[in-house]
Structures are given as structure tokens and as C-alpha cells.
Chains A and B, each alone.
Chain A
Amino acid sequence: MKVQATDWLLLSPELFLTAAGMILLASSVFVGKAKEELFGFLSVLMLGITGVLLVFVSTMPERAHGPILGGMFVVDNFALFFKFLVLLAMVLTVLASVRFVGEAPYPGGEYYALVVFSGVGMFFMASGSNLISIYVALELMALASYVLAGYFKGEIKSTEAALKYFILGAFSSAVLLYGLSLVYGLGGKMGLADLARLYTGTQRTNAIALGILMILAGLLFKIAAVPFHLWTPDVYEGSPTPVTAFFSVGPKVAAYAIFARIFYVAFPKFQADWGLIVALVAAATMIWGNLAALLQTNVKRMFAYSSIAHAGYALLGVLGFQTKFGMWGVLVYLLAYTLMNFGAFALIIFLEAKGYAAESVSDFDGLAKRNMPAAVVMLLFLLSLAGIPPTAGFIGKYYLFTAAMDAGYAWLAIIAVLASAVSLFYYFRIAAAMFFTDGVSAKIPVSYALTAAVIICAVGTLVIGVAPESVLDVLHRCVPSKY
């Protein structure tokens, strides 16, 4: 394996983040519960330094030399985009957690360390260009996530969420691993670029199809697509809300990164085979996600089903990989989704206080009278999630639906439009509760860190919706090449 000194520099954000996680974990032994807020600010500082390192890496000309560490990783614009997005999700999670974790009777240092370790896994997933590095990165992300889901270990719902997530996650990892080993066994290659070259002149065999199908099933579980979505509502409901917010964006974003790498780089030749399966899954995911959300009165479960539906929309971009808007649309949508979905969850955390859980739709009753800015910002996120202009969600959906049309999946685009219309009902239901209902006068405690997270999400959602050109231009440069 050929390794150069600059390879380590290119991976400096990951290495620093790993060290940061270990420092947080070790220092949690010495810092008491009373001073736990320090961990939150220390985490934000370390994530900020990681951001600076990512900017530094983005200016390094050595990136153009292709895969590093013997073909294990690649640090192209595509990987950097996903790393920035994961970093954004981590910063938002930490900001949203400061008050929440401070009030909880569990040690905070471990919590922040787990968020960071999970993020390291996602960073490596974004850069993975080899079947082994992709799988190990995915497991690193998943193992930290399982523990995060059960962070409230004294609460039965949290423990149940962690167990369900672990058991079903382990099952899907096994399926994915079977798929990866089949593909390796048939081709004798681990690198995605090598696999792409190998399969360029090869006819599809049933064994390859089975391998691809198993990889597909494993990845569809990670993005919570129907019929692999069953874990999502219970895990989202049982996990601490900042963790739910993190799960709803971070792991999904990272899973789409490897989805794109594997299917765009290694298996584009077999799109006729996997395309139909993905199209049917996308249709089922959009329809079932939205219909099931209609029935929910628990907001966390409602957003769980909403996130399932959004996974279906993003699959439209996967189907349109070969078109102008396909991959571009996925990037735009994931950025928009991260901002609007995390923003909505941040508002749920904002309303949560001791003795008042903002988990039911009725908990939003009369929010406009209690805190008008919070109600207006929540309305912005809901409109964006529904895809109403001028918000980020509309721009993202426009690109995805166009990609599906261009790729010959007009029927799927029509289903997507109808599913979006159905989603208006449950999003507007929360809006109606906020503006047109009298509620209790529960006091909303102020958290500056959480307010900062909400502002970041709101500004991003509006800027992408009102003036998308600059963002779209940057994202267009992040579409990966088939190296």
C-alpha cells in the first residue's frame, strides 16, 4: 500500500476529531456535573477547529491526485461537501444539547464524545472509496449511535430505542456485509474505481445482482426507506430529542454519501437492474411515510415518518444520477433537509422543559401567543419541509423532481408531488395548533446555544430558498467524477 505524508494531512480533520473525542471522554472523568456545560462549549470549539482544517484541506492541491492511503479514501469536493454537512449537523446537535444534557441526570462528557465519534465515522463514510473502509466507517458511526440512542439509560423508552436500533442495525449491517463480500468474491477487487473498471465490460450475472441487491438493502435500512423503516418511529420517539435530531440528519446524510459512491461510481452499468427496485422503494417510501405521518399525534413520531418520506424524495435524485440534476439535486436536497429538519427538531427541544414535553401536537397549542418568533420560525421549517416556496425545501424538491423526470421516471415525480400535497395536512396541523388554538401558559426557558442553532437553520432555510444561485453554484462543483 503506497502511503505519502500528505495523505495524513488530507485526513487531518478526521484525526483531529478522533483526538477531540478522546479528550472529551477522558476529561469527563475529572469534570463534575455542575461544570458540565464546559463540554458543550469545548465541543463547539473543537468542531470549529475541525471546520478550519476542512477549509485547509479544501485548498490542498494534493487532493487532485486521487484516492489516498492505498486507495482507501478519496478527498474530493463531494467528500468535503458531506464532511461540511456532517460537521454542521454535529455543531447544531451540540448547540441543541447544552441545556438538555445539563438538565439530564447523566454524564455529559460521554454524550459529546459519542456525538464526535459518530461524526468521525460519518467523515470516513464520506471519503470511503474502498469496500472495507466504507464498511468499517459505517460501523464506527453506527456503534456510537446505538449508545447515543440509549443515553437516557434509566428511561425504558430510551433503552428500548437503543436495543431496537442495535438489533435491527446489526441485522442490516450483516446484509450489507454479505453483499460487499459477494461483490468482492466475484471481482477480487475492493476499490470502487477498480470495480467500475472491472464491470465496464462484464455482463451481469445473478451472483453480481444478488450482491448489489444485498448492498442496496443494507443501505436502504440506513436511510430508513420502506420496507426497511420499521426501526425509525420507535428509535426517534425513544431517543433523547437532540439525539433524534442528530439521527434524522447525520447518519442519513452519510448513508447517502456511500450510496452515491457505490452506485454512481462502481455500479452505474447495472442501473437498469437496481433502478427499478430503487424506483419502487422510493414510491413506497414517499406514500407510506406520508400516510403514516397523518395518523400520528406524537410530534417525534410524526417527524420520524416525515423523515422516511423525505428519504423517498432523495431517492429520486439517486435514480437520476446520470442526468444533469440527479446528483446535484441530492446534494441540494440534503443540505436543505439538514437545515429544515434539524430546525424543526430544535424548536421541539426549545419547547421542552421540566414537566412540559413538547411531544404532542397539542403541546404546540397557542405557541404564537407565548413566543411569536418561535412560532414563526417553526412555520418556516414546516413550509420548507412541505416544499412551499420561497424556502430551501422547495428548491431541493424542484431539483429532485426534475431529475426524476429527466431520467424517465415521470410517474414517480407525479407520486412525489401528490405525496408532498398530502404532507401539507400534517405540517399545517402543527401550524394551526400554534396560531389558531389557545394553549397552556408554560414558561419557555431561554437557551442561547439552542437559539443559535435555530437561527442558523432558519437563515440557511431562507437564504437557499430566496437566493439559491450562490449555493447551487458551489454544490454543482461538488458532484463527483467517476474517477
Chain B
Amino acid sequence: MSSPEPPGRSRASAIGEGTSAGLLFLAGPLLGYFLGRWMGGRFGWGEAPAWIGGGLGLAAAFVNFFRLAGRLNR
């Protein structure tokens, strides 16, 4: 009862792509947040860049996710 594999993709590459797409949901917002916070401190813009950076990081994670999910569904 093994599950069908998407044609043309090895198990390792599927695991790699899925893992990286999942981890980006954690890494993206964190990276964006800390980068924004550093910029806010460096240029005296306050807290706003940190949250904008976090939001952009999350958006990047979603863009990457949809790109991969679209490819998997084809």
C-alpha cells in the first residue's frame, strides 16, 4: 500500500523541497524581523521596519510555498 510518487521526482528531492518550504515559514519571518529591527535601530525608524520585515518574510514563504504546491499539483 505504498503511496504513489509524483513522476520524475526522487524521494530525496521531494523531502528536500518540502522541508525547505516548511522551514521558510519559520526562517523567513524571523530573518525579516531581525533585519528590519537592525535597520530600524541603524536609521532611527523605530519598530515599524521590524514588523514590515517579518511580514515580507512571511509573504516570501507563502510565495515559495505556492510555487512548489503548484508544481506538485501539475
**What is the interface of chain A, defined by CB distance below 8 A to chain B?**
157, 160, 233-234, 237-238, 290-291, 294-298, 301, 362, 417-418, 421-426, 428-429, 432-433, 436-437
Contacts and interface: CB of A to CB of B under 8 A. Distances in A.
Contact of B25 (A238, A424, A429, A437): A424
Contacts of B68: 425
Contacts of B73: 362, 433, 437
B46 interface: no
A363 to B, nearest CB: 12
29 contacts: A157-B1, A233-B1, A237-B1, A290-B22, A291-B15, A291-B19, A294-B18, A295-B3, A295-B11, A295-B15, A295-B18, A297-B4, A297-B6, A298-B3, A418-B26, A421-B27, A422-B19, A423-B22, A424-B22, A424-B25, A425-B18, A425-B19, A425-B65, A425-B68, A426-B22, A429-B69, A432-B66, A432-B69, A437-B73
Given A294-B14, A432-B69, A301 B26 contact: no
B23 A422 contact: yes
Judged by DSSP, the binding face of A is helix
Contact of B22 (A233, A297, A362, A421): A421
B21 interface: yes
B31 to A, nearest CB: 13
A429 B14 contact: no
Given A432-B65, A433-B73, A297 B18 contact: no
A428 B65 CA distance: 8
Contacts of A238: 1
Contacts of A301: 3
A425 B68 CA distance: 10
Among A234, A290, A295, A423, chain B packs the most CB atoms within 10 A around the CB of A295
B14 A417 contact: no
B14 A295 contact: yes
Contacts of A417: 26
A312 to B, nearest CB: 16
Contact of B3 (A160, A296, A432, A437): A296
B26 A421 contact: yes
B59 interface: no
B72 interface: yes
A233 B3 CA distance: 10
Q: Which 4 A-B pairs have the closest CB atoms?
A: A294-B18, A425-B22, A421-B26, A422-B22
